[in-house]
Amino acid sequence: MNTINTKLFSSLILVFVLTIVPLPDGVNALRPAWVLVFILYIQCCLPEYFRITWVFLLGLCLDVLCGSAMGFHSLALLATAWIASGRGRGFEYYSIAQQMSVIVLFCLVYQFFIYLLDAYFGIAGDIKYVFGSSFLSVLVWPWLRFFISPHKVAVLKNR
């Protein structure tokens, strides 16, 4: 397994662990959308590794881990990935502030989609958590870029 595949797989395991880590009730609703940020990273910065079937399977795994209805997160992740598909080209050349502003919009779309699905199924939610979770998800973006950047991998291969 090459270095980038190893980093992606270990990052995926870490993302799922961070998704299910128990948090206090007041903070739990503000949990960053770890899986979404990971998928957006793959889609925008490593498009050769991006597959829509993986998004669907990761959404199903997220449904199982969170105990939600099957397909709930898959639908939200697929819709957000579809909206983000036009931004892939040239995204890695944006400044980090521009990237974060685009990512916050995608996180807002995802969280609002989850909010609407929750409302449809009769689960009461608070709209402030949509914004809080989205803005915390954006704070994850620079760190994710730093840890699994393909440019760092290329430098490590040349040593």
The pTM for the full model equals 0.87
CA dist., res. 96 & res. 51, Å (int): 24
pLDDT tens digits along 7-37: 889 989 999 999 999 989 888 888 999 999 9
Reading the block at residue 19, the tokens are 């998704």
pLDDT tens digits along 147-159: 777 555 444 444 4
Q: Can you give the residue range of the structural domain that contains 112?
A: 3-18+33-157
Reading the block at residue 123, the tokens are 């689960």
Which amino acid would we find at residue 130? Answer: V
In a domain, 141, yes or no: yes
The residue ranking higher by pLDDT, 156 or 117, is: 117
Q: Mean of the pLDDT values across residues 88-117?
A: 89
In a domain, 65, yes or no: yes
In a domain, 28, yes or no: no
How many domains, the chain? 1
**pLDDT bucket at 64, cuts 50 / 70 / 90:** very high
Pair 106, 80: CB distance under 8 Å: yes
The residue ranking higher by pLDDT, 67 or 73, is: 73
Residue listed under structure tokens 């998800």: 137
**pLDDT bucket at 113, cuts 50 / 70 / 90:** very high
Percent of the chain with pLDDT over 70: 91
Pair 44, 89: CB distance under 8 Å: no
Residue listed under structure tokens 């699994």: 148
Q: Interior CA angle at 71 toward 66 and 76, to 5°?
A: 85
Q: What is the largest CA-CA distance in the chain?
A: 56
In a domain, 27, yes or no: no
CA dist., res. 44 & res. 136, Å (int): 19
